[in-house]
Amino acid sequence: MKEVLRTCCVCRKKQNKFHMNRISNQGENVFLDNKKEHGGKATYVCKNNDCLNTLVSKKVLNRVFKHNFNIDVYKKLSEELIDTKY
C-alpha cells in the first residue's frame, strides 16, 4: 500500500500523515482533528516540541488559514496538542 505523506505547516518536512497532528478550521474555530471527523480546510503539524512551540509562538495558523485568530484560540489548541504529543 502506498504511504500517504503530508507536509508540516511549520518545518515543511513531509511525513506519514498518521505521525502528524491534523488541525482543522471551521470559521472562527480551530481544533485538533486527528480522527478526521470534520471536513473542510485543514493542515498538519509534526508532533515534536519545536514545531508545536513555533506553531503557537509565530501564529502560523494565521498564515495557513488566512485569518487572524486571537491568542485564546492558540492557547486552547496548545493544550490539546500537548495532551496528544506522543
Q: Which long-range contacts (CB under 8 A, 24 or more apart) does 51-57 make?
A: 51/8, 51/10, 51/11, 52/78, 52/81, 52/82, 52/85, 54/10, 54/11, 55/9, 55/10, 55/81
pLDDT score of 85: 56
pLDDT digits (tens, 9 = 90+) for 16-39: 998 999 999 988 889 898 888 888
pLDDT band per the 50, 70, 90 thresholds, residue 64: very high
Instruction: Tell which wins on pLDDT, 35 or 64.
Output: 64
Confidence at 3, pLDDT banded by 50, 70, 90: confident
Residue 46's pLDDT is 93
pLDDT, the chain, mean: 89
Q: Class of 5-83 per CATH?
A: alpha beta
Any idea where the domains of the chain sit in the sequence?
5-83
